[in-house]
Amino acid sequence: MQRVEKKLFGSVNGKEIHLFRLTNANGMVAEIMEFGGRIRALCLPDGKGGLDNMSVGHDSLEPYSERFNPWLGALLGRTASRIAGARFTLDGKVHNLSASGPAGSSMHGGFTGFDCRIWSGEADSDPSGATLKLSYLSPDGEEGYPGSVNVTVTYRLDDDNRFHMNWAAATDAPTIIDMSSHVYLNLNGFRKRDIMNECLRVNASRYLEKDASGTPTGNFIPVEGSPFDLRAPKRMETLSQGAVYNPIMALDGEAGVLREVAEASIPELGRSCTLYSTARALQVYNAWNMESFYSSRNLQSPFGAAPGLALEPQNYPNAINIPSLPSPILRPGETYDARQYFQFTW
């Protein structure tokens, strides 16, 4: 069995982009590209000799690189989610970021965040799995962030059907960093139907209050009696009610410790995906308004409503502007570390 394959996927601005295919002993497949560290495919055997791709995306590079797309399968950074006012103060100096998000916020790292950068990939395998390491040097001032930051993201698909993502970063000047991944997963296989038949459970007793722009205020609200009580599995159809469903959950347990935080499942298909993470928070997004991302830009959407479920582990968003929240500051000599994996069953 060939665990690792590498092929030329296309080019962006004259630079070659490679696609890496990782395969485990059970027939599960992951495909990741150097453009944005995007997960093009996460496939399970369909029981009929084929594969169901759970990761919402495209077959070719062009739709990712040359047209708008809503962070499909992408790495998010330097910071995931929103920073209010697209600015923050660090050691007495104000830093202005790209105002790429709603209400003048900075969102998912800016107009050209890690999702649109070209990473350098190296892949290897061993008797129990396949590994891909992506590296990128984010220069001082990129999208307004201070400091030059060396970033690595390590993907691994093992024979226990776990898909790992580990982030590491070091900086030469004080900065902020809080990375995540924006893979949209659909346990049906995203080409077959929407996610309304999936059940979701999240180990969170509280969620984050958001202001009118969708940015966290720093207040925590108990989930008891709210639409965001996901401590027992609930169907996405019930949660969505024909609208966007996107709470930011304050995860139970100790941040920095790899622990079970969420599970998506389709009991009637016998498929599930359990998320383990070191993060403090989890952004849940049902992608109900996927079509409007395109139509608002006079583009035809290649996807219908709710094609996939995004589970985005991260620090508390906008924490740099809320002194009561744990700081996302990274200083020289320190190492940023974040880990997660999806455990699949079928």
pLDDT digits (tens, 9 = 90+) for 40-75: 999 999 999 999 999 999 999 999 997 777 999 999
C-alpha separations of 27 from 22, 153, 156, 210, 266 in Å: 10, 24, 15, 42, 20
Which residues are 117's β-sheet partners?
Answer: none
The stretches in the chain having pLDDT less than 70 are none
CB-CB contact of 220 with 268 (8 Å): no
Q: What is the pLDDT of residue 296?
A: 87
Q: Where are the alpha helices (DSSP H) in 68-201?
A: none
Q: How far is CA 246 from CA 12, 166, 317, in A?
A: 32, 24, 13
What's the Cα-to-Cα distance from 279 to each of 262, 288, 314, 337, rounded to whole Å?
Answer: 12, 25, 5, 10
Residue with tokens 């496939």: 43
Predicted confidence at residue 214, as pLDDT, reads 87
pLDDT at 297: 87
Q: How many CA atoms lie less than 13 Å away from 42 in the CB half-sphere? A: 29
Neighbours of 265 (CB within 10 A): 18
Q: Are strands 29-33 and 39-45 parallel, antiparallel or unpaired?
A: antiparallel
pLDDT number for residue 36: 98
**131: CATH:** 2.70.98.10
By residue range, what is the domain housing residue 41? 4-345
Instruction: Write down the H helix ranges in the chain.
Output: 62-65, 236-240, 290-295
The predicted pLDDT at position 43 comes to 98
pTM (predicted TM-score): 0.97
- Number of structural domains found in the chain: 1
Q: What is the mean pLDDT of the chain?
A: 96
Is residue 131 within 8 A of residue 159, CB to CB? The reply is no
| Beta pairing, strands 82-83 & 271-277 | unpaired
Model confidence pLDDT, tens digit, residues 172-199: 999 999 999 999 999 999 999 999 999 9
How far apart are the C-alpha atoms of 35 and 116, rounded to whole Å? 6
